[in-house]
């Protein structure tokens, strides 16, 4: 079940992703243990693509097209890694009707308890 909660300052609702991240890291570790050369090379290639995208994003002279190409490259390398790990790790979280209703009820209950932002916070 997805656990929604208020942030400590009470100004937003957050949904911790620790269960999802743990599942992905576990599957990535197993894939690496099974084939460290391939998975290691894929991770290095993805890291390079992500760093390039960050560099392009930070560049004041980079065009939107250049950023889109850099993002597509990072997406491609991420998909290559996903193909190497267990399909369960990349599967969407599915909620049955009862779980979806419980999550919706929890979100509505938390939203009603949020502390409204002040005008200066809204402008920022």
By C-alpha distance, which of 37, 45, 107 is closest to 75?
Answer: 45
The alpha-carbon radius of gyration of the chain (Å, integer) is: 20
Which tens digits make up the pLDDT trace of 40-99? Answer: 999 999 999 999 999 999 999 999 999 999 999 999 999 999 888 876 666 777 888 898
Which of 25, 69, 28 minimizes the C-alpha distance to 49? 69
> Which tokens hold the place of 52?
């390039």
Per-residue confidence (pLDDT) for residue 119, from 0 to 100: 54
Highest mean pLDDT among 38-47, 82-91, 105-114, 115-124: 38-47
For 94, the 3-state DSSP assignment is coil
Domain range holding 97?
Answer: 5-123
Res 30 pLDDT > 60: yes
Rounded Cα distance between 42 and 112, Å, is: 45
pLDDT of residue 124: 55
The per-residue pLDDT for 101 is: 92
Q: Considering the chain, what is the average pLDDT of its residues?
A: 87
Please state the domain count of the chain. 1
Q: How many residues does the chain have?
A: 124
């Amino acid at each position: 079940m997805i656990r929604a909660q208020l942030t400590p300052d009470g100004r937003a609702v957050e949904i911790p992703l620790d269960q999802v991240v743990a599942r992905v890291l576990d599957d990535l570790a197993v894939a690496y243990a099974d084939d460290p050369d391939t998975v290691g090379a894929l991770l290095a290639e993805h890291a390079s693509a992500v760093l390039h995208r960050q560099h392009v994003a930070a560049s004041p002279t980079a065009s939107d097209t250049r950023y889109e190409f850099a993002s597509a490259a990072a997406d491609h390398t991420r998909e290559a890694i996903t193909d190497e790990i267990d399909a369960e790790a990349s599967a969407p979280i599915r909620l049955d009707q009862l779980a979806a209703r419980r999550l919706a009820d929890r979100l509505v209950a938390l939203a009603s308890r949020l502390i409204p932002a002040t005008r200066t916070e809204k402008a920022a």
